[in-house]
Amino acid sequence: MSFLKPTIQQPKSMAEYLKIDVEVLAKHIHPIDQIELHKKTGEMVYSTLTNKAIVAHQIQNSLNNISPQFQLEKASSQAKDTRIKSLEDLVIELEHDPKDVKAGEQLIKKKNDDIATLKKQLKISPLHHPQTAEVLETQKEEELMDLILKLNDQLKETKK
């Protein structure tokens, strides 16, 4: 290693220890060592590029897997926002009072309508559901409540 010679012979301060430069002339390195150096640097560069390519491929696969999931989440979020907005409009329209039973009934009716549309989208038969009997009873009660509400509205209109 006699060909490795520092440019500063003896460092005298701490800063000089940090700034030691080494000059190596290519003519002082044996050709076999130069060939070996090129092989090793080529292997290091190839290894680094291979690792980075693998990481990039894994990230691309993750992105491809996440993208459809993100689209579903986005659609779900928009549906929930629409649902919240419609419920808020319904509550504002009814001028909701906690003692007012009609507003609660209409909110329940809206929820049941949404459930029915979701069942249609999923194509779930109501016969397979374990609570079918209860659902039928509540639907009958809802129909009666709707009829009562309609009659009540008609009475209010006739009084006006």
Going from N- to C-terminal start, the domains of the chain cover 97-145
CA distance 146 to 102: 10
In the chain, where does DSSP find H-type helix? Answer: 14-18, 31-94, 101-122, 132-159
pTM over 0.85: no
The C-alpha torsion from 144 through 148 and 149 to 151, rounded to 10°, is 140
- Check whether 121 has a pLDDT greater than 60: yes
- Check whether 91 has a pLDDT greater than 70: no
Region 96-116 average pLDDT: 71
Higher pLDDT, 95 or 71: 71
Residue 23, strand partner residues: 5
Query: Residue 141: its pLDDT value, please?
Result: 81
CA distance 56 to 63: 10
What pLDDT digit, counting tens, does each position of 41-52 carry?
999 999 999 999
CA distance 114 to 25: 80
